[in-house]
C-alpha cells in the first residue's frame, strides 16, 4: 500500500482548497446574481448559487501546480479543463445552443489530444485520435447530464477518480504517465470531496456546467492517459469503462428512451435514472446513495479485473453488464 502515500498530498491539498473556496464562491455567486432558479423540470424550490465548478477546478489545478509546473499531457489536461470551465460559466450565465456547446467540447478535447492524451490500442494514429476525441466528448457530456441531483455528479466523479488514482498508482510500472495519472486523479477526488460538503443533501451551491464538464473531461482524459493492467488487451480496455460505467449507462439509457419517444436528446428533463429512482419511491438522498453504491461496485469490479484470469474477468464484466441491464429494465417502468 506504499504506492498510496504519494497520493495523499495532492488529495489533501485539493480537498482543503475546495472546502475553503466553495463558500466564498457561493457568496460571490449571489452577489453577481449567478444562481440557478427553480423550474418545472428542476428539483430545488429556491435559488441556488452556481460557480461551484470554479472551486472544483481551481482546487484541482492548485494541487497539481503545488507539485510542480505541469508539462505535456498534464498541461493539456489543465488547459483543456480551464477552457471548458469558461464555456460552462457562459452556459450557466446565458445559456448556450447544444450544438455550439458540443463544438466547444470538441475544442477542449482537441487540446488534450494535441498535448499527448490519446489512446494507443488502434492500429492507426488517425483512428486513435478520432476515438480519443469521441471518448472525451462522450464522457464530458455524460457527467454534464448526470448533474441533476444534489451530490450526484460530484460524488460519482469522486469515486471514479479515486479508482483511477489507486489503479494507476498500484501499477506504476506500466508507463511513464502512470505517476501523473495517479496524482491528477487523487487531486480530482480531493476537490470533489471538499465541494461535496456543500453540495450533498440540501445543496447550498451547484457546480453548474462549469463543473460537470470539467469533471467529465478530466476523468475521460485520465482514462486515456493511464495504462490499465489485465490478463488481455481487450479486458484492459474495459477497465476505464467499468470505472465510468454508471455515467455511461445513464447517458445511453436516457438517449435511447428519448430517441424512441421522438424527443430531442439535448432537451433537459426529469427522466434520468436518478429521477426514476425517486419516482419508484426512494428519497433523493437514497437515490444518490444507491447510485454511489453502483459506482463503487463497478470500480471494485475494475480493480478485480486487474488481478484475475481472463475467464474470471469476462465473468465479472458480464455480471456487471447484466446488473445494469436489469436495473435499466426496472427503471424503464418508472413514470416520469
H or E segment to which residue 183 belongs: helix 178-196
At 294 the three-state DSSP class reads helix
Mean pLDDT of 142-167: 95
For residue 231, the model assigns a pLDDT of: 64
Dist. CA 49–CA 198, nearest whole Å: 11
Mean pLDDT lowest among 116-130, 181-195, 306-320: 306-320
Dist. CA 69–CA 56, nearest whole Å: 19
The pLDDT-based confidence of 1 (bands split at 50, 70, 90) is low
Checking if the pLDDT of 136 tops 70, the result is yes
Checking if the pLDDT of 106 tops 90, the result is yes
CB contact at 8 A, 22 and 211: no
Mean pLDDT of 207-228: 94
**Residue ranges covered by each domain of the chain:** 2-332
At 177 the three-state DSSP class reads coil
Query: What count of Cα atoms within 13 Å lies in the side-chain half-sphere of residue 299?
Result: 22
Q: What spatial distance separates the first Cα and last Cα of the chain, rounded to whole Å?
A: 45
Mean pLDDT of 193-216: 93
CB atoms within 10 A of CB 27: 11
Highest mean pLDDT among 105-114, 230-239, 321-330: 105-114
| Mean pLDDT over the full length of the chain | 90
Distances (CA, A) of 197 to 23, 57, 181, 205, 236: 10, 16, 25, 10, 34
CB contact at 8 A, 288 and 155: yes
For residue 270, the model assigns a pLDDT of: 81
Mean pLDDT of 289-293: 96
Dist. CA 253–CA 112, nearest whole Å: 28
- 71/277: higher pLDDT: 277
Dist. CA 190–CA 8, nearest whole Å: 9
The pLDDT-based confidence of 42 (bands split at 50, 70, 90) is low
- What cell numbers appear for 239 in the block? 477497465
Amino acid at each position: 500500500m506504499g504506492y498510496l502515500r504519494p497520493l495523499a498530498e495532492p488529495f489533501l491539498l485539493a480537498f482543503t482548497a475546495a472546502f475553503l473556496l466553495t463558500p466564498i464562491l457561493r457568496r460571490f455567486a449571489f452577489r453577481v446574481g449567478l444562481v440557478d432558479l427553480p423550474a418545472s423540470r428542476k428539483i430545488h424550490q429556491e435559488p441556488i448559487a452556481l460557480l461551484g465548478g470554479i472551486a472544483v477546478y481551481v482546487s484541482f489545478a492548485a494541487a497539481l501546480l503545488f507539485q510542480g509546473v505541469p508539462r505535456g499531457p498534464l498541461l493539456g489536461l489543465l488547459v483543456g479543463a480551464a477552457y471548458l470551465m469558461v464555456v460552462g460559466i457562459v452556459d450557466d450565465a446565458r445559456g448556450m445552443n447544444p450544438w455550439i456547446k458540443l463544438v466547444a467540447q470538441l475544442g477542449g478535447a482537441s487540446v488534450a489530444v494535441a498535448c499527448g492524451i490519446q489512446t494507443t490500442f488502434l492500429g492507426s494514429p488517425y483512428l486513435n485520435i478520432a476515438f480519443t476525441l469521441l471518448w472525451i466528448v462522450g464522457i464530458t457530456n455524460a457527467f454534464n447530464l448526470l448533474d441533476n441531483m444534489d451530490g450526484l455528479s460530484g460524488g460519482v466523479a469522486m469515486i471514479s477518480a479515486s479508482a483511477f488514482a489507486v489503479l494507476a498508482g498500484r501499477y506504476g510500472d506500466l508507463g511513464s504517465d502512470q505517476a501523473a495519472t495517479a496524482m491528477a486523479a487523487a487531486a480530482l477526488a480531493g476537490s470533489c470531496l471538499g465541494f461535496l460538503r456543500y453540495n450533498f443533501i440540501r445543496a447550498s451551491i451547484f457546480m453548474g456546467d462549469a463543473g460537470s464538464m470539467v469533471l467529465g473531461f478530466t476523468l475521460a482524459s485520465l482514462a486515456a492517459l493511464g495504462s490499465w493492467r489485465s490478463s488481455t488487451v481487450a479486458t484492459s480496455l474495459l477497465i476505464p469503462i467499468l470505472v465510468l460505467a454508471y455515467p455511461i449507462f445513464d447517458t445511453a439509457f436516457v438517449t435511447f428512451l428519448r430517441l424512441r419517444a421522438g424527443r430531442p436528446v439535448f432537451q433537459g428533463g426529469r427522466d434520468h435514472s436518478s429521477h426514476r429512482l425517486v419516482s419508484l419511491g426512494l428519497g433523493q438522498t437514497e437515490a444518490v446513495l444507491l447510485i454511489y453504491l453502483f459506482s463503487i461496485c463497478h470500480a471494485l469490479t475494475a480493480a478485480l479485473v486487474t488481478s484475475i484470469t481472463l475467464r474470471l474477468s469476462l465473468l465479472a464484466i458480464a455480471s456487471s453488464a447484466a446488473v445494469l441491464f436489469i436495473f435499466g429494465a426496472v427503471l424503464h417502468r418508472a413514470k416520469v
